[in-house]
Amino acid sequence: MIGFEINGSAIELDVDPDMPLLWAIRDAAGLTGTKYGCGAALCGACTVHVDGRAVRSCLLPVSSVAGKSVTTIEGVSGGTAAAVKQAWLELEVVQCGYCQSGQIMSAVELLERNPSPDDAQIDSAMRGNICRCATYARIRDAIRLASRSLSGRSEA
C-alpha cells in the first residue's frame, strides 16, 4: 500500500511500487485529466505537481510520492491556477487539448515561482511541454496575460 495525498484527499493504492505515478493516477485513482504522451519525460503531457513542484509523472515511481501531496489538473486551484485557466479561455489557447493539462500545470508552477516571467523565462519553463498543435504563441500570450492579471496590472 502506498499512501499519499491527491488533490487534497488521502489515498491508499495497492499497486506495484515501481508503477509510474502517471499510471497510478490514471488507472488506479481513475483521474484521467493527466495525459500520457511519451512515457520518457520528453513531452510534458503528464505534468503534475508534487508538493507544489511540477514533475513529469510518467517516469516517477509511485512509491517516491509516499506521504507527499500530488495535485493534478482536476485539483489545481488557487489564484494562480484561476488566472491561468481564465487566460487560457480568453485567448482560446486549446486546439486538440491533449497537451493542455500538462501545459497548464507547468504554467501554474512557473507563475507561482516567478509571477512576472519574461519571454526567455517562459520559454525555458515551458520547454519540456510539447504541443503538436503548436499552440505555443497563444500559450506564451496566455502566461503573460495571467501574469498581468495576477499583478493587478491592466492589459498592456
Partner 1 sequence: MSAKTRVNLARRSFLKAGVGAGAGLTLGVILPPLAAAQDAAPGLPGSGALVAGRFEPNAFVTIAPDNTVTVISKHLEMGQGVYTGLATLVAEELDADWDQVAVSAAPADASRYNNLFWGPMQGTGGSTAIANSFMQMREAGAAARQMLIAAAAERWSVAAGEITVESGVVRHASSGRSASFGELAEAAARQPVPSAVTVKDPADFRLIGKRVPRKDGSGKIDGSAVFTQDVQLDGMLTSLVAHPPRFGARVNKVDSAAARAVPGVVAVHQIPSGVAVVARDFWSASRGRDALQIDWDESGAVTASSATLMASYRERAQSAGLVARSEGAVDTALEKAANRLDASYEFPYLAHAAMEPMNCVIRLDEQGCEVWNGEQLHTGDQMALAGFLGITPQQVRVNTLFAGGSFGRRANPQSDYLLEAAAIAKAGGGKAPVKLVWTREDDMRAGWFRPMYFHSLRAGLDAQGRPVAWRHRIVGQSIGAGTAFESAMVRDGVDSTSVEGASNLPYAIPNVSVELHTTEVGVPVQWWRAVGSTHTAFAVECFIDELAHAAGRDPVEYRLELLGEHPRHSAVLQLAADRAGWGKPLAEGKARGVALHESFNTRVAQVAELSRMPNGGFQIDRVVIAVDCGIAINPDVIRAQMEGGMGYGLSATLESEITIENGAVVEGNFDGYRVLRIGQMPKVEVHIVKSAEPPTGVGEPATPVIAPAVANALFALDGKRARRLPLGVNS
Which residues bind to partner 1, rule: CB under 8 A?
15-16, 19-20, 23, 26-28, 30-40, 42-43, 45, 72-74, 85, 88-89, 92-101, 104, 122-124, 126-127, 129-140
Q: Which of residues 101-140 bind ligand FES (CB under 6 A)?
A: 131-133, 135
Which option in partner 1, ligand FES, none does residue 149 bind, with CB closer than 5 to 8 A by kind?
A: none
How far apart, in whole angstroms, are the C-alpha atoms of residue 129 and residue 116? 20
| Under rule CB under 6 A, residue 48 binds ligand FES | no
Mutual orientation of helices 119-126 and 136-150 as an angle, nearest 10°? Answer: 120
Amino acid at 105: M
Q: Which partner in partner 1, ligand FES, none is near 48 (CB below 5 to 8 A by kind)?
A: none
Task: Write the DSSP assignment of 50-92 as a string of letters.
Answer: ETTEEEETTTSBGGGGTTSEEE-TTT--SHHHHHHHHHHHHTT
User: Which chain residues interact with ligand FES by CB under 6 A?
Assistant: 36-39, 41-46, 56, 58, 94-100, 131-133, 135
